[in-house]
Amino acid sequence: EVQLVESGGGLVQPGRSLRLSCAASGFTFDDYAMHWVRQAPGKGLEWVSGISWNSGSIGYADSVKGRFTISRDNAKNSLYLQMNSLRAEDTALYYCAKDMRAVAGQDFDYWGQGTLVTVSS
Amino acid sequence: QSALTQPRSVSGSPGQSVTISCTGTSSDVGGYNYVSWYQQHPGKAPKLMIYDVSKRPSGVPDRFSGSKSGNTASLTISGLQAEDEADYYCCSYAGSHVVFGGGTKLTVL
């Protein structure tokens, strides 16, 4: 059974940093691209970032480019999101999502339950 | 990186069919055959319903179908059931990034 378990969310002040993690199991992690997708309270889905199976291809939404860094450790079956210079508008539930392909696309066939990030003073 | 355009809401009675549109540009929806659709019930994670414009993952009922014409993709749900009431999001590959639609709330009357 595929499982994606996010962690690392919490309350953080504007301008500070936070690192999210996603522990994957139930599939061959290094065969697939992975993504972070967020959802602000009461709002729609927003793609944040994606990374290919070997970290050779990485993409970011304009809204986080230069502030967030996605990475993965295939030996640990884990995905990460380093979030710096956090803003109030980054407040959201952050989902880890598995791609159906090795190279990052937009077909997310498994999702975690999300970890909530709240940016507030 | 503008969001794809979806109607805010659609509705239908049980047994009827509804279609949700998703309009983008030649840089996303129109430029690639990589459109997916997600269903999200309140408090739950999204679920993939359609990928690559018209393909259904295993376990998704064939009442759900997808299509695309030009810069507009569509999700059609036939034989509406009460459990289909949810939010639906389209999503498109756009080269260096991915873009979602704003979401459509489906109400089953």
Chain A to chain B, count of Cβ pairs less than 8 Å apart?
Answer: 66
Residue contact A62–B101, C-beta within 8 A = no
Could you tell me if B89 and B5 are in contact, meaning their C-beta atoms sit under 8 angstroms apart? no
Distance separating alpha carbons of residues A51 and A16, to the nearest angstrom: 24
The pLDDT confidence band at residue B96, using thresholds 50, 70 and 90, is confident
Chain segment A44-63, per-residue pLDDT in tens: 999 999 999 999 999 999 99
Q: What is the mean pLDDT of chain B?
A: 96
pLDDT at B1 over 80: no
Residue with structure tokens 């498994």?
A: A110
B8 touches chain A (CB under 8 A): no
Q: Which residues of A touch B103 (CB under 8 A)?
A: 44-45
CB contact under 8 A, B101 and A44: yes
A113 and B45 Cβ atoms separated by less than 8 Å: yes
Q: What is the mean pLDDT of chain A?
A: 96
CA distance A35 to A92: 15
Which among B3, B36, B96 has CB closest to A107? B36
Across the interface, whether the CB atoms of A112 and B89 are under 8 A apart is answered: no
User: What percent of chain A stands above pLDDT 70?
Assistant: 100
Q: Which region holds residue A91: left if phi is over 0, alpha if psi is between -120 and 50, else beta?
A: beta
CA distance to B5, B28, B46, B57, per residue, from B108 (Å): 22, 30, 19, 23
Of A37, A45, A100, the CB nearest to B51: A100
A13 φ, ψ to 5°? -80, 150
- Any CB–CB contact under 8 A between B63 and chain A? no
| pLDDT at res. B2 | 84
Give every CB contact of residue A94 below 8 A, 6+ residues apart in sequence: A6, A9, A20, A36, A37, A38, A48, A81, A114, A115, A116, A117
